């Protein structure tokens, strides 16, 4: 499979944006991790309070190792907060914790995009691992059918990432609204928390851009084989 300079021109802007987004979220989190909450609220306390107000006392909150490894696990109904969020009384920590609580609320309220994302997750996990090997194998042995299969599998990955965008932005919107309603953060602290969440959401935009370029590359390869 020969190198195509056009692919470099397509992938470079997406790659630069992704690197910028990752640096932005890291920088924003570091910056606002130094801003302590006026009311002394920690990440775990914020998550518990938002869940309580939403009537989700059945959702547990646990600590998980790592940095920015925070997530909601719908299978075990657990919010896992990283060390820098769980017990930290900072604007960044409270924002991240509120965001994960937002995901728990999405599931509880049957928010359609997150249900759809969960439904296609098995296919995307399968497709993300096999798409490139199938393209290479199909190219090497002149099997266009394998390349077409890879395109379908990777298209599912792209669809998953497209659905992820409204899921993440909605969770952040729920988080900001919850922080306002609960008054866990002061009005002066809300914009800082929003900046952390917005920066994090941009990493998903970057990932989608890279995947779209890769999908286009697969399609170009398939057409070339024909």
Place of tokens 């869940």: 51
How far is the C-alpha of 183 from the C-alpha of 181, rounded, in Å? Answer: 5
| Strands, sheet with 60-64, edge to edge from the N-terminal-most edge strand | 60-64, 78-82, 71-73
| Paired tokens of 116 | 């759809």
CA 127 to each of CA 85, 88, 122, 212: distance values in angstroms, whole numbers, following the listed order: 32, 38, 9, 14
CB-CB contact of 177 with 52 (8 Å): no
Q: Which one of 100, 168, 181, 189 is the catalytic residue?
A: 100
Q: Which residues, 6 or more positions from 103, have their beta carbon under 8 angstroms from its beta carbon?
A: 71, 72, 74, 79, 114, 167, 171
By CB neighbour count within 10 A (0-12 exposed, 13-18 middle, 19+ buried), where does 8 fall?
exposed
CB-CB contact of 46 with 98 (8 Å): yes
Positive or negative, the CA dihedral 123, 129, 135, 137 is negative
Active-site residue, 168 included: no
Q: Which of 203, 209, 221, 175 is nearest to 43 (CA)?
A: 175
Enzyme catalytic residues: 100
């Amino acid at each position: 499979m020969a190198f195509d300079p056009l692919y470099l021109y397509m992938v470079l802007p997406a790659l630069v944006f992704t690197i910028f987004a990752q640096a932005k979220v890291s920088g924003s989190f570091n910056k606002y991790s130094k801003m302590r909450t006026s009311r002394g609220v920690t990440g775990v306390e914020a998550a518990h309070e938002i869940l309580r107000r939403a009537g989700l006392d059945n959702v547990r909150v646990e600590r998980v190792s790592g940095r920015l490894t925070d997530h909601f696990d719908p299978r075990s109904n657990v919010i896992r907060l990283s060390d820098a969020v769980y017990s930290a009384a900072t604007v960044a920590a409270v924002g991240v914790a509120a965001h994960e609580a937002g995901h728990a609320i999405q599931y509880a309220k049957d928010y359609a995009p997150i249900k759809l994302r969960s439904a296609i997750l098995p296919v995307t996990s399968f497709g993300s691992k096999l798409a490139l090997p199938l393209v290479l194998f199909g190219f090497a042995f002149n099997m266009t059918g394998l390349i077409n299969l890879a395109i379908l599998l990777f298209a599912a990955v792209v669809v998953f990432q497209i659905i992820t965008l409204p899921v993440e932005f909605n969770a952040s919107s729920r988080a900001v609204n919850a922080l306002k309603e609960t008054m866990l953060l002061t009005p002066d602290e809300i914009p800082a928390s929003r900046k952390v969440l917005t920066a994090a959401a941009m990493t998903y935009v970057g990932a989608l851009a890279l995947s779209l370029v890769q999908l286009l590359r697969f399609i170009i390869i398939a057409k070339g084989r024909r």
